Structure 1
Amino acid sequence: MNLIVSSVETAPGPLKHHLQVISGLDNVPRKEKQFRNFASNSLNLKGKQGEASVGEIWKYLKGLREEQQKAKQQKDEAIAAAKLKNAEATSTKELDELPNDGRHVDAVSACGLNDISPPNPKIVKKAIKKVLKKASGHKLSLKRLRKEIQLHLGASKSDKKRLKVLVQQTLESSTAKGIFLVSGDNVQLQVD
């Protein structure tokens, strides 16, 4: 809806009036088929000429939406890069504070400073679902499931403990919701 309101000012002449009318309406559909039907009925655009006008409106709005998505993606990438740079600076500072007596590499791998972003619970849940969907019978042992998730996520060995805890927490919370069935050391995906 915000897209339509903001597009009224920048719209080409023939579309400006139609976009003004649509911006005053509620529940404007976002899918093409529903939008075309809505616009042709709301704007009383019938026939070939009306369908052409609705097509131009849709094409214009689709282009604006794609531009907004690209801008948002670039902004998200910039934020992620800034966070990564900040995390690297923090880990470098912590590395500099470690004693340089030969235990430096062991201390780095033990505290996980070489890993910038360990997996989060949402990603782990999605990975569990994907791995179990690929497994025969949608069922794996807990140990095998953790190994497959580690491979799927490309997690390092230092993330193994955190991954184990995340998998356990995810399974406990999702079992109550009926997504996974845990029986002994086996985990099964509940298929609808």
Structure 2
Amino acid sequence: MMANKKHQRDRYPSWAAKFIRTERLKKNITQEELARRSGVRVQHIRLIEWQCNSPRFETMEKLINTLGYELHAMPNEDTEVCLEADIQDEAIRLEKSNRDAQREAHEVLERLEKRANRLDLSLQQACEEAGVAYSTVTRWRNGSFSPTIKSIARIQKALHDFENNNACDEQIKWLEKLCAEQHRDD
């Protein structure tokens, strides 16, 4: 029963199909010609005129425009309820998306802090290396501001570069020590 009510509510009234047929015939346009001009398949036009099919707004608009008229949507109570529900759904989705983004930013910051600590760097030093203001990072931490992917990537790259430089420095020190030991042995 509910499905029928919804289906009935979504259908265009019979006058819309009659209007298309009447105007098409007044202008001496065949269904085939209307199809060619409007870009709507001729079979679809037949079903609409026979009231066997309920077209989408866009389809009705194409047909009405092709016949030289404009179609305007007039909101009614149902439309307002649907719009209100859509707005509420979108608000919930955005709120969840924002929470997810904040949680993800927090996780990334934790990983960055651990990596910076492992390299004997403070997060502030890592931020300076990356060219990201530490005050911005503190706003990320308290959730008043979300980081951009670009900022996070710059911090990660700076930590990675610093880590590679440290590894190279350690290898150089190890080689120097090895050379010094070999030189002593000679």
TM > 0.5: no
**TM-score class normalised by the smaller sequence:** 0.3 to 0.5
Q: Could you tell me the TM-score, scaled by structure 2's length? A: 0.35
- Structure showing the higher strand proportion among its residues: 1
- Structure showing the higher helix proportion among its residues: 2
